[in-house]
Amino acid sequence: MIATFQGLLVALLALLPGASYTFAYERVAGGYGISFADRLVRFLASSALFHALFSGPEYLLYRDLFKNNRLQGGGVDWWLVEAVALAYVLVPVAVGALLGWGHKHHKKWAVLLVGNAPEPRAWDYFWRHTDRAVVRLKLKSGMWLAGLYGMAGNGRRSYASGHPEEGDLYLAVALEINNQSGELTLTDEQVTPLPGARGLLVRWPEIEYIDIQEY
């Protein structure tokens, strides 16, 4: 157990790179089914890796600032301390965001570094690998709805919730569809948006059948 404030401070500083990396990575790639214990292990492992990578610069900094008493003597430029503090936080964040982006976009180098990390449900897998699609939904009430999964003209983006939440789906553009037959309304062989800036928000318990066609 950590008994002193100095010990607690050292422990927090030791874990900070891993925490920054993990937060940045999961913010981009997601954290499917990650429990507190899993996240703590990731903190420790990534922190150890960052400290191993930067052990040389850390030793030089320690020798210059503390062993040679430059910090106490006031011989340290303020911008050097500021740069070191920013690098200590921003480098793990940048690495985490880059690896998260690479994993989300199926880059082989990212999968090689962080592993495959398969999604726990087909719902999560499909939406992660789909950028744009026409979605037809039959509700349990018998009514059909349709929408475009992608970016709307007003900049609003569609969204599918991930594990462990229910599979709620937001479609940024609602499409014209026959509510009884489920047949899409086409104009010049193109799907027809409903008039006005309208979207659809559908909860998973309301869906009986879903048809998805990449667009």
Give me the CATH number covering residue 177.
2.30.30
User: Do 29 and 126 belong to one domain?
Assistant: no
Residue pair 179/144 in contact by the 8 Å Cβ criterion: yes
Q: In terms of residue numbers, what domain contains 96?
A: 5-114
DSSP for residue 195: S
pLDDT for res 206: 93
Low-confidence residues of the chain: pLDDT under 70: 1-12, 30-39, 65-78, 116-118, 197
Domain boundary among 114, 144, 177: 114
For residue 155, what pLDDT is reported?
82
pLDDT in tens, 175-213: 999 888 888 888 777 888 877 767 899 998 899 999 998
Count Cβ atoms within 10 A of the Cβ of residue 153 and give its class: 0-12 exposed, 13-18 middle, 19 or more buried: exposed
Boundary-marking domain end, from 114, 130, 162: 114
User: Residue 86 is encoded by which pair of tokens?
Assistant: 């920013």
Last residue of a domain, one of 65, 80, 114: 114
Please state the domain count of the chain: 2
Question: Same structural domain for residues 79 and 16?
Answer: yes
What confidence score (pLDDT) does residue 6 get? 59
Which residue matches tokens 């989300």?
104
18 with 79, same domain? yes
Asked whether residue 50 falls in the same domain as residue 133, the answer is no
Asked whether residue 194 falls in the same domain as residue 146, the answer is yes
Which stretches of 54-121 are DSSP H helices?
55-62, 70-73, 78-104, 108-114
Whole-model pTM? Answer: 0.61
State residue 112's pLDDT score.
81
